[in-house]
Structure 1
Amino acid sequence: MATPAVFLDRDGVINKDKGYVSQIDDFEFIEGSIEAMQLLKQHGYLIVVITNQSGIARGYYSEDQFMTLTEWMCGLLADRGVDLDGVYYCPHHPDKGIGDYKQDCLCRKPNTGMLDSAAQALDIDFKQSFLVGDKLSDIQAGQKSQLKGNYLVSTGKVVCEKGAKVADGVFHDLLSAAKAIIKD
């Protein structure tokens, strides 16, 4: 039986977006984000991080550096009762990538490759799942996957007018969005 999930963008939703965050010292959880993930887990949602990481494509940091930070983040969350069910990332950029990372891929949001991979691996029911992001491309990926709800938070990028119009809701932060999800 397929399971509902909440897909989360990383930078600007879970942690403060300081621009190409790749080091533990630069990673700072947004207030309430851990509590939000705990709440979602308590209500039976899988939590899957889907994150564009064009800093890898641009040569700002390596995939190994990204993985080191991800392992640290997952460990810290697990210590607080949040076992992430998956972390999917896109290391590509169609214009600014270097070498093999310069490509127009299926994984980079607004494309659905990360969501599709997670759904296949984790048996996720898109019709009962949600996405929380901080920019239009996040919402577009969720809409293409026909998720139940696609929400923007204002803790990351400035919420653009188009994003606010197409999102199913705009919330101050992940905790506010999580509370709406569990009421749905």
Structure 2
Amino acid sequence: SILAKRLTFTEGPVGFSGSLVPYLNLTATSTTSTTTVTIVVSGEATNPNFNFSSVPALPEDEVLAQLIFGRSMSNLSPLQIAQLAEAAAQLAGIGGSTSLLQNLRSAIGVDDLDVITDEEGGTAVSAGKYLNDRTYVTIQKGDKPGSGKAAIDLDVGRGVKLRGEATDAGEAKGGVFYEREY
């Protein structure tokens, strides 16, 4: 995933050429309302190369904007542009721990800060904080009426998590989830 945009690789051999480090040649495609973006990850797994292209053909920064936010660079907020720059730096292998977003997260005292774009082009800001090692709280507010929500996740152990959520429209829901990382 790139900035919470999940990618599905549709093709790509993984091979070995004399060492235990695999050689990648993976392709993922993502489609927005106006653009089809293709991502090719190639090279050794310890130092992969990322190549982006699109139909219609766009400059690479526009391709990333379409991929992550589903809109043109000219329609991004300053925070979204900062996130885009951070993603580009990470993909280029030059991202560091002093990024603008990390400084902003630290300044406002949250663990996660994200700008989310939905399929209709709506934007929301989400902030999350770990209250302790088992409890995580998220607050999200969008640009549309009734798009705000708050959620709390409680890890009860052995992969079982409880989640409660309430919206500013007065709706509430809860659930039990099982998660296993491997």
Instruction: Calculate the TM-score normalised by the size of structure 2.
Output: 0.30
Instruction: Calculate the TM-score normalised by the size of structure 1.
Output: 0.30
Higher RCO (CA < 8 A, seq sep 6+): 1
Which structure's residues are more often strand, by fraction? 2
Which structure's residues are more often helix, by fraction? 1
